[in-house]
Amino acid sequence: MLDSSIWENDIVRASARAGRIVLFEESARDGAQGKTLMDAETRLRLARRTGEMFGDDGPRHVMFAAGFPSACKEEFEITRRVALEAENVSSTCICRGTPKDIDTAIAAMSGAPHGRIMYFLPGSEAVSQALLKKSAKESVDRAVAMGEYALERADGLAIDMAFSHSPQADRELLIEAVSRLTQAGVASVQLADTVGGVLPPQAFELYTDVIRRADPQALVMAHLHNDLGLGLANTLQAIRAGVRIVASSWLGLGERSGMACTEQLLFLLAYAPERLPTLIGETGPLWWTQPDLTVIPELAGLVSEQTGTPLKVTDPLVGSGVGTISTGTPFVDRSLFQPYDPETLLGISAQIVLTQLASDRVVGAAADSMGIKLDADQIRIATQWVKSEAFRRGEAVVPPESFRVFTDGLLAQEPTA
């Protein structure tokens, strides 16, 4: 008989069981498999600021993947530092399902506030044979044995387990595994679409079926890759199915094509509560503390700068195109051309950008915003110059400083009295 008191201090599990969303933020861990590297200071700042989005409830809403400590001594040291110093999140480290890796993980996380360990093993027959030279049933038996091994040594750390290649696993065996792990005392079981190949209806069916048929005490986590561009859509379907711990990463960093973007997932779940029934079905409150979405641009910029991952003009929420106006039609009434107000929700002020598509109206407004007073004829001249200058440069955006130099010269041509 399971002694559920093993989870009495597990605030992540309590939050998820209460229907609240917990983000398993993986920029520093799965993001490393996307050929990026975060140093200790970056991980610490990212963890703390992500937690601060939820005020005092950061540890209840954010599992932060601090690192993979068995990779090397440097990774161990960074993981341990984040675990001990990022007190406003639930720090987690990832390890393989072996005694050596689990011992290393426990050493890295020992004494961490709200510390957790997640170990992983393959779930499907093909990958179990390829990696372990064992059957999927033997992989499940090993997962349970490693859970018991970890729990005997955890010293207050919560233990989570992850099955890779879960959509390819035998469903009956997967459900049995989730139940056995729960009964052994594992706090949550992550079912990962490691390949990134499932479609949204398949994601919904997988998580719905496992949640419905596994042990009632089981807590299922979702980790969905983005190889078909469906990581976010599949994660939303997992939430619709009842999952409340969902993996994501800032800018979608992760192996191959990455995973769901933390900024997009967080924004969709928080910016318009009245739309949630359409997005994820009828649900109770998702947050203990509503997240401060104005932090999103800052953290996206931090991750971009520190990992060398460029932000594109068209990136939702964090791209340089957000809040900009470059053509005349949206200029007439901005609210008709955007699904949310970037300034109110993200703290991004509107900006007029001069491109080869600029109209007289846009050029005149840009000049006014820069304190440059032009009459109608001068605006027409300036508009033609902007268009020609863009093509001369071979770049759409004409820098404000170049525009100012041109208009200074234009105004200097006026005869004096």
Distances (CA, A) of 140 to 173, 187, 196, 223, 246: 8, 16, 22, 19, 22
Spatial neighbors of 232 by CB under 8 A, at least 6 apart, are 226, 260, 261, 264, 265, 268
Kindly state the greatest CA–CA separation across the chain.
97
Counting residues of the chain whose pLDDT is more than 70, the rounded percentage is 97
CA distance 263 to 270: 11
Contact of 397 with 355, CB cutoff 8 Å: yes
Q: Which domains does the chain have, with CATH numbers?
A: 4-307 (3.20.20.70), 321-417 (no CATH)
**28-47 per-position pLDDT tens digit:** 888 788 888 999 999 999 99
- pTM of the predicted protein model: 0.91
**255-274 per-position pLDDT tens digit:** 999 999 999 999 999 999 99
Which segment of 36-50, 331-345, 361-375, 387-401 scores lowest on mean pLDDT? Answer: 331-345
**The one-letter amino acid at 65:** A
Q: What is the pLDDT of residue 328?
A: 66
The residue whose two tokens read 């407004």 is 365
Is 277 exposed, middle or buried (CB count within 10 Å of its CB: 0-12, 13-18, 19+)? exposed
**183-202 per-position pLDDT tens digit:** 999 999 999 999 999 999 99
Which segment of 7-16, 136-145, 175-184, 362-371 scores lowest on mean pLDDT? Answer: 362-371
**Is it the case that residue 368 has pLDDT exceeding 80?**
yes
Contact of 307 with 31, CB cutoff 8 Å: yes
In this structure, the strands spanning 62-67 and 22-25 are parallel
**378-411 per-position pLDDT tens digit:** 999 999 999 999 999 999 999 999 999 999 999 8
What number of CA atoms fall less than 13 Å from residue 38's CA on the CB side?
33
CA distance 290 to 413: 56
- Residue 320 pLDDT class (50, 70, 90 cuts): confident
What number of CA atoms fall less than 13 Å from residue 375's CA on the CB side?
4
The residue whose two tokens read 């900009």 is 324
**229-251 per-position pLDDT tens digit:** 999 999 999 999 999 999 999 99
CA distance 282 to 273: 11
**Is it the case that residue 1 has pLDDT exceeding 90?**
no
392-401 per-residue burial string, b: 16 or more CB within 10 A, e: under 16: eeeeebbeee
Which 8-state DSSP code applies to residue 170?
A: -
- Residue 416 pLDDT class (50, 70, 90 cuts): very low
Mean pLDDT of the chain: 93
Contact of 269 with 276, CB cutoff 8 Å: yes
Question: Angle at which helices 296-307 and 262-270 pack, to 10 degrees?
Answer: 170
Q: What is the pLDDT of residue 323?
A: 85
